[in-house]
Amino acid sequence: GAGVSQSPSNKVTEKGKDVELRCDPISGHTALYWYRQSLGQGLEFLIYFQGNSAPDKSGLPSDRFSAERTGGSVSTLTIQRTQQEDSAVYLCASSPQGAGSYEQYFGPGTRLTVT
C-alpha cells in the first residue's frame, strides 16, 4: 500500500516568509509525528499527534512553529516568519497505534531552505 507522503519535496523560501509543509500518513494510522533533521544533527522531535490532538508540543522550537491535523489524517506544519536556522529536512512519520508504538513509518521529507 501507499506509504507516508510529504509535500513539497523541496521548498526554497525567503527569510520572513511563511511556509506550510504537508504530511499524508498511511491510511488508518492514528499517531503522527513531525521531526526535523538539521545538517550534522540527529533527528529532532517537534510534535506528536494522536488522532487530531497534540498531547505533546514540547518539541516545537518557537511560537513561529505550529501544526494541525484534520480528520485524523493529513497534517500541516506551518512555520511563520521563517529564519535561516529553520533550514532543514522536515520528516513526518506515522504509526498504527498510539503512544508506546515504536514502529514508525517515515515519509521522504521536505527539504526547506531559507535564503
Does residue 56 belong to the site contacting another protein (CB under 8 A)? Answer: yes
**Applying CB under 8 A, which of residues 16, 20, 99, 113 lies at the interface with another protein?**
99
Check if the beta carbon of residue 91 is closer than 8 Å to that of residue 109: yes
Does residue 1 belong to the site contacting another protein (CB under 8 A)? Answer: no
Which one-letter amino acid corresponds to residue 93?
A
59 HSE (CA, 13 A, CB side): 17
**Applying CB under 8 A, which of residues 27, 41, 53, 84 lies at the interface with another protein?**
41
Does residue 53 belong to the site contacting another protein (CB under 8 A)? Answer: no
Residues in the interface with another protein (CB under 8 A) total 28
List beta partners, residue 66. Answer: 78
| Gap between the Cα atoms of 107 and 77, Å rounded | 14
Radius of gyration of the chain measured on its C-alpha atoms:
13
How far lies 11's CA from each of 64, 74, 87, in Å?
17, 19, 10
Does residue 103 belong to the site contacting another protein (CB under 8 A)? Answer: yes
Does residue 48 belong to the site contacting another protein (CB under 8 A)? Answer: yes
**Applying CB under 8 A, which of residues 8, 16, 28, 55 lies at the interface with another protein?**
55
Residues forming the site for another protein (CB under 8 A) = 4, 31, 33, 35, 40-45, 48, 50, 55-56, 58-59, 91, 93, 99-100, 102-109
